Amino acid sequence: MNSKVSVIVPCYNQAVYLDECLQSVLDQTHQNWECIIVNDGSTDHTETVAKKWAEKDSRFQYVYKENGGLSSTRNTGLEKASGDYVQFLDSDDTIHKEKFSKSLSTDKEYPLAVSQFTIYKNGLHLSGYNRVEQDFLTFEGIVFGWDLKFSIPIHCALVSKKLLEGFWFDTSLTSCEDWLMWIHITKDNPEVLLVDEPLAHYRKEDNNNSMSSDLYKILQQRIRIFPILKKLYGDDLHDRLVYHIIEVRSKQYIQQRNEFNKVTGGRAVSGYLALKKYYYRLFQKKN
């Protein structure tokens, strides 16, 4: 199958990784692709690197826009995509050279193909934080399993343009916007090809300033998702999801507390409470 693939590469101040990212696109054994490099107002040398690739191969297109965030940058790429399939690829990530060919080489045409992935950290490829399973790739699986049982890097997916009809990334979100995409493309439970090989490589370098390191911000963003889901998919799904998250997180908390007490024998908690009680008594005497 010689379907055309539109690769969308949003860029913001990660020029240091961009050559490696775009080389992984150029190396694809499936040759029918276009690569839309969208510069989201970078202040580093992203433009120089991107233009070099556009001059090297006409399949690379360079687009500049004012800074607006990851979602608006991906939306710009979607507007310009002319392929049968869309491959999202962040500028610090890479894909295996056979990702397109192994996703499209079957006799049957699948609207969605998803591969396994590795974590690329400090120069090493490590196992992904979870294995992608076939039963994850349903509407119910994505809605009720995401971040509780698994999550899937966006560039694991090769998505039919038809599945993305009517979808735009929510520019009010700085996290979980990819979860909404997965929900949208699986809402009618399309047939999914699971390519059981790690064909997507997700870079996760040490960075204490990253969004993913701030649990409070992540929780804030997740809460902002709920009214969006309610508007898009109704009260029933919204309420089921909220109750499901509360139930799962409560069970996890109880399990963690029990495991902690097994290890410490409860001594750490009782010791802390005794110290706290002593401190307050001391404080009250001084006052």
- What Rg do the C-alpha atoms of the chain give, in angstroms? 22
Q: Cβ(115)–Cβ(99) under 8 Å?
A: yes
Give residue 153's pLDDT band: very low, low, confident or very high (50, 70, 90): very high
Q: Tell whether the model's pLDDT for residue 162 goes beyond 70.
A: yes
In this structure, what are the phi and psi dihedrals at residue 239, rounded to the nearest 5 degrees?
A: -70, -40
Beta bridge partners of 6: 34, 86
Nearest to 167 by CA among 78, 87, 241: 78
pLDDT value at 273 more than 70: no
Q: pLDDT at residue 54 above 80? A: yes
181-240 pLDDT tens trace: 999 999 999 999 999 999 999 998 765 444 344 556 666 777 788 899 999 999 999 999
Residue 276 confidence (pLDDT) above 60:
no
Instruction: Name every residue whose Cβ is closer than 8 Å to that of residue 114 and which is 6 or more positions away in sequence.
Output: 132, 137, 152, 156, 157, 158, 192, 193, 194, 195
Helix axes 235-264, 215-233, angle to 10 degrees: 150
Question: Percent of the chain having pLDDT more than 90?
Answer: 69
Give phi and psi for 192, each to the nearest 5: -125, 130
| Residue 62 banded pLDDT, cuts 50, 70, 90 | very high
Res 26: pLDDT: 98
Residue 2 has pLDDT above 70, yes or no: yes
State the amino acid at position 131 in one-letter form: R
Structure confidence at residue 107 (pLDDT): 86
Helix, strand, coil abundance in the chain, percent, nearest 5: 50, 20, 30
Other CB atoms within 10 A of residue 146 CB: 20
Range name among 3-17, 148-162, 242-256 with the lowest pLDDT average:
242-256
Note the pLDDT of residue 243: 87
pLDDT, averaged across the chain: 88
Backbone phi, then psi, for 174, in 5-degree steps?
-115, 5
How far is residue 31's CA from residue 8's CA, in Å, rounded to a whole number?
16
Per-residue pLDDT, 213: 45
* Residue 278 confidence (pLDDT) above 60: no
Q: Using an 8 Å Cβ cutoff, are 201 and 108 in contact?
A: no
- The answer, yes or no, to whether residue 253 has pLDDT greater than 70, is no
The rounded distance, in Å, linking the Cα atoms of 137 and 191 is 9
**What pLDDT digit, counting tens, does each position of 95-137 carry?**
999 999 999 998 899 999 999 999 988 888 899 999 999 999 9
Give the model's pLDDT for residue 52. 98
